[in-house]
Structure 1
Amino acid sequence: MSAPADVITTLPHDLSPLRRGPVMVASDGAPETNDALFSAARLAGSALGAPIEVIGVCEPITGVAGGMDVLPVPAELDESRRVTMLSDLRRSVSIAASGDPQWPIHVVVGSPSRLLAQEAADRDAALMVMGIGRHNPLDRLFGTETTLATLRESRVPVLAVGAHFPATPVHAVVGLDFSAASVRAAQLAMQMLTTGGRLTLVHVRPRFEHPSSDWQTWDAEYGRTLPPLFVQVRRLLNAPTEITVDTVTVRGDPAPALLAFAQQARADLVAVGTQRHTLLERLIVGSVATRVLRTARCGVLAVPQI
């Protein structure tokens, strides 16, 4: 049986500055999602003091089977589709209420998740803004599954927003497991809050149902470690006076308990840190981040371990 000190990851000693590259917006030019994406990008760019760039990824058309052979698709066709997407994005940025025609726009051809991660790395991006496409059963190009796949590939934080993400978030809920990634998620979420906003740090304790004295002792010890850890996180965050920071501890399975709290609190944003230690964890990006991204009714911020 592990001690609480082994269960709760050691906190960082300080919070070094976040990446200073641009905020990148991943869009396919679809008008029904662009207003929210561009608004979220403007919010993040202002909060981080970062420029904004728009990127589209045009998936190549696969070859067509012809008898026993696969007929290659002419390269000109993919290039034509790339140029069309670039034109759509330029028009979308130009007409969107929250867009800025001066934002640089790039469109590349290839695998969306891999290329988005690579483009973000090449630009040392501060954040990637993407859509949550759960309302479409086919999950549009830049929907939830592509967002998850990008997070699996990328070391850059991802902000996933739906069509109703507010331009000025008031309440952010952070799933805090006291890892460096979760503390950085709290830091980034705090920066996106409007003046007078609230940041709630939620730690989900393991469900305790065992009657043995050993388990009761372990659970009591676990509980005693939490207050000083919360104090240390608040010190690290050094929140401005206009932001209220509160702490909450709940019991249960991490993702459902966090989502239930966020829904009850009517949060605008749920933030989580993600860990990558083993090959399996790199593939699934952690069950908590995956479940939150797939089922949250508000915006989701996922911050990978640096």
Structure 2
Amino acid sequence: MSDLAHDPATHSDYRPPGVDGPVLVACDGAPVSSEALFNAGRLATRAFGGPLQVLGICEPTPGVAVGMDVLPVLVELDEARRAAMVEDVRRAISISAAGDPAWHVDVQLGSPSRLLATEALRRHASVIVMGIGRHNPLDRLFGTETTLATLRESRVPVLAVGPSFPATPVHAVVGLDFSAASVQSARLAARLVAPNGRLTLVHVRPRFEHPSVDWQAWDADYGRTLPPLFDQVRAQLDPLEKVMVETVTVRGDPAASLLSYAQQAQCDLIAVGTQRHSFVERLMVGSVATRVLRTARCGVLAVPSA
């Protein structure tokens, strides 16, 4: 989060795939997280303008090894499991105060992370809404690792929420390194914040310090670049309805400092961009996004780089 090589002014037309496209809500029918999921889905449809679509992913039953052979799984068995999940999802929608029986429901067989990413791109979705579910070891589609795996695969932003995620966030904190993805995360987070809410743009400066004159001169130059960069990001935000935008600069480890600030601020949402330039980096997603998703006590919006 300390790389100033990315000038947001050069990315004024940056948009992830499918902004204003459908909102894809990942749901397996488990009632524990459905209310927060559907509330987040409704929030995203208001923010981004697209319809809400519910997608469940049923992992195929693995074959059973018998000696040197593998017994194939009957197609009828997986189809029965898929049909059962369809009913679970429809039931979760029907009993949820935030649910709507008119929502389009689709359940497919396959790898959850890969299929979610593929379907989101194919449908030109604006965002994938998923559960974090770190407090329930029995979660199927809502585990944090599944959400991380989806982000590794996805070219579409991922909004991960826990059971306590509010229907309308009042305060969002954005981890801003001035890359295109982090600027876009600020844009999308601004749309999700309630009128009269707060959007805090947080930049983490390098914690390395040295008494040399060269270091002090570099650090002073670094500090002088920040106000105009913050101003450029502010100018790129969509018109906000009475949302207060504030900027904060802290020093330290990017993930730890961002999480510490967000916890002290008791925010409802943390937004981060992710950078992936190689196969290895794609697997890692980005240490900041990974640590935030695994540790945050609030909702997380992660926006992949273009």
TM-score by length of 2: 0.95
Contact 2:275/2:304 (<8 A) preserved: yes
How far does the alpha carbon of each residue in 1:245-283 deviate from its partner, in whole angstroms, 9 at most, with x for none? 000000001000000000000000000001111111111
Please state if 1:263 is matched with 2:260: no
Other-structure match for 2:170: 170
- 1:10 equivalent among 7, 32, 53: 7
Other-structure match for 1:211: 211
Other-structure match for 2:292: 292
Distance 2:224 2:192 in 1: 31
One-letter identity of the residue aligned with 2:269: L
Contact 1:15/1:236 (<8 A) preserved: no
Q: CA RMSD in A?
A: 1.4
The 5 A counterparts of 1:147-162 are: 147-162=147-162
Other-structure match for 1:199: 199
Distance 2:221 2:177 in 1: 16
| Structure 2 counterpart SS, 1:166 | coil
- Cα distance, 1:241 vs structure 2: 4.7
| Structure 2 counterpart SS, 1:9 | coil
- Mean Cα deviation higher: 38-47 or 206-215: 206-215
Distance 1:80 1:175 in 2: 44
Q: 1:83 to 1:241 in 2, by over 3 A?
A: closer
Distance 1:138 1:15 in 2: 42
Contact 2:55/2:105 (<8 A) preserved: yes
Distance 2:140 2:239 in 1: 37
TM-score by length of 1: 0.95
| Structure 2 counterpart SS, 1:31 | coil
Please state if 1:20 is matched with 2:20: yes
- Cα distance, 1:16 vs structure 2: 5.0
Contact 1:239/1:245 (<8 A) preserved: no
- Cα distance, 1:240 vs structure 2: 2.1
Other-structure match for 1:84: 84
Unaligned 5+ segments in structure 1 are: none
| Structure 1 counterpart SS, 2:149 | helix
Unaligned 5+ segments in structure 2 are: none
Q: 1:113 to 1:13 in 2, by over 3 A?
A: closer
Instruction: Give identity over the alignment, percent.
Output: 68
Contact 2:129/2:160 (<8 A) preserved: yes
Contact 1:133/1:140 (<8 A) preserved: no
- Could you list the structure 1 runs, at least 4 aligned residues long, displaced by more than 6 angstroms after superposition: none
How far does the alpha carbon of each residue in 1:61-86 deviate from its partner, in whole angstroms, 9 at most, with x for none? 11112122211111111110000001
Distance 1:81 1:24 in 2: 21
- Cα distance, 1:17 vs structure 2: 5.5
